[in-house]
Amino acid sequence: MAGKDYYNLLGVSRNATERDIKQAYRKLARQHHPDVNPGDKSAEERFKQVNEAYEVLSDKAKRQKYDKYGDQWQHADHFEQARRQQQASGWNFSQGGGRVHFSEEEAGTIFNDLFRSFGGRAGRPQPRKGRDLEFPLEITLEEAYSGTTRTLSMADGKRLEVKIPPGVKDGSRVRISGKGAEGYGGVKGDLYLVTSVRPHRLFGRHGDDLYVDVSVPLVVAMLGGEVKVTSPKGKLSLKIPPETQNGRTFRLTGQGMPHLGKSSRGDLLARVKVMLPAKLNGEEKELFQKLGRLRPDKP
């Protein structure tokens, strides 16, 4: 196949799965993105080529056309139409290895003949929306909680400010309408930002619920009291009932992550970690010894 080899551009085999193609694209998009390589024209060109290859190979119908017609896949419908007119027009379609090969000169001749045979109109390419582009974007948990904005460097050198709504998670797709690739006689495609949320040192996340450990002094765990729980928006008060066991989890309703596109939120689940006292003085040791004598066989 003459021209661009999209499989080679992505570094995958011709029998690569959709997952293989997506993983290869995301890796190369990060590697060659203009933000990562400011001022590097070769990286910018490589970024464009990687996006072009992914747009074709990630679409089942386009990939089938590409596998048959190579880098002239966009004219596949017209080639097929020309094939059906083979006897009437006398065209000679040669095949090898299951794929049809045309040089640019042959393709031009086919289209010229096709235009004439249909009154100069039937073979004309129809307007086509531009391809959608996908870009991986890593954000912090705080940014996912409150929402944020990012300025992206586009492949054409322009800069684009985008808004990331509150509540996104790993794999969320934020659609930026009309910021994809140029179309043929039609509108641009869309840009999709695929988010990944960086792990947090304090909070775990499951869906829109957050998980956090809360330290509780032994005396408070035994007699009850109040402690402070860390949440994304600040400290919250939590009442600890008497005789609270280590590992018990309390649910703080509505204190978790925002539900994407909604005003409601998930919950914050606070897990108790009882703090045992250290460096006991003499009096404290006596009190624990007395407790031990009062409860010799009780947990």
- Taking all residues of the chain, what is their mean pLDDT, rounded to a whole number? 82
Task: Tokens for 206, please give them.
Answer: 């499951």
**CA–CA dist 230, 164 (Å, integer):** 24
Domain 133-197 shares a fold with domain 204-278: yes
Name residue, tokens 């960086």.
198
Residue 121 has pLDDT above 60, yes or no: no
CATH superfamily ID and name for 6-117: DnaJ domain (1.10.287.110)
| Other beta carbons within 10 Å of 189 | 20
Residue among 149, 177, 167 nearest 262 (CA): 167
**CA–CA dist 23, 238 (Å, integer):** 44
> CA distances (Å), 280 to each of 225, 277, 298, in order?
22, 7, 22
Residue 118 has pLDDT above 70, yes or no: no
Q: Are 195 and 164 in contact (CB under 8 A)?
A: yes
Per-domain residue ranges of the chain: 6-117, 133-197, 204-278
Task: Tokens for 43, please give them.
Answer: 């990286």
**CA–CA dist 50, 69 (Å, integer):** 19
Average pLDDT over residues 292-298: 78
**CA–CA dist 274, 206 (Å, integer):** 24
CATH code assigned to 204-278: 2.60.260.20
Q: What pTM, to 2 d.p., does this model score?
A: 0.59
Strands (E), 59-158: 95-96, 99-100, 133-139, 148-153
For 212-222, what is each residue's pLDDT tens digit?
999 999 999 99
Torsion of CA 136, 137, 138, 143, to 10 degrees: -150
For 237-275, what is each residue's pLDDT tens digit?
999 999 999 999 999 999 999 999 999 999 999 999 999
For 94-109, what is each residue's pLDDT tens digit?
433 344 444 444 454 4
CATH superfamily ID and name for 133-197: Urease metallochaperone UreE, N-terminal domain (2.60.260.20)
Q: Are 69 and 100 in contact (CB under 8 A)?
A: yes
